[in-house]
Amino acid sequence: MDGAINTLHEFMLHTENITYILVVISLVGITAFWRFLTDRDEE
């Protein structure tokens, strides 16, 4: 496959693939960021 996008299905498959990976990274990232933001709250 040369990576060209010819149909709506290919476009959706391509963008959704990347978006799902981004969302998983974001969920992990925002959890880590929340811990970073609040871990000194109890002091």
Partner 1 sequence: MADESGAKRSPLLTPFNMIAGIIVLIGLIITAIRFTGGLAAVTNLSDNNPWGIWIGFDLLVGVALAAGGYVTSAAVYLFGMKRYHSAVRPAILTGFLGYALVVIALNYDVGRFWRLPYPFIMQQGTTSLLFEVAACVALYLTVLFLEFSPAALEWLGLKRLRNLIVKLTILLTIFGVILSTLHQSSLGALFLIAPSKLHPLWYSPYLPVYFFVTSIVAGLSMVIFESTLSGRYFGDKMDDVHKEEANHVALGFGKAASLVLAGYFIVKMVGISTANTWHYLNSGYGLWFLVEMLGFVALPCFLYAIGVRDKNVKLIKWTSALTVFGIILNRLNISLIAFNWHLPSSERYFPSLMEIGISVFLVTLGILAFRFIVTHMPIFYEHPDYTDAH
Q: Which residues bind partner 1 (CB under 8 A)?
A: 5, 11, 14-16, 18-19, 22-23, 26, 29-30, 33-34, 36-40
Q: How far is the CB of 1 from partner 1 (least distance, A)?
A: 16
Q: How far is the CB of 5 from partner 1 (least distance, A)?
A: 8
Which value, to the nearest 10 degrees, does the dihedral of the CA atoms of residues 43, 26, 28, 36 take? -20
Distance CA 36, CA 24 (A): 18
Q: How far is the CB of 7 from partner 1 (least distance, A)?
A: 14
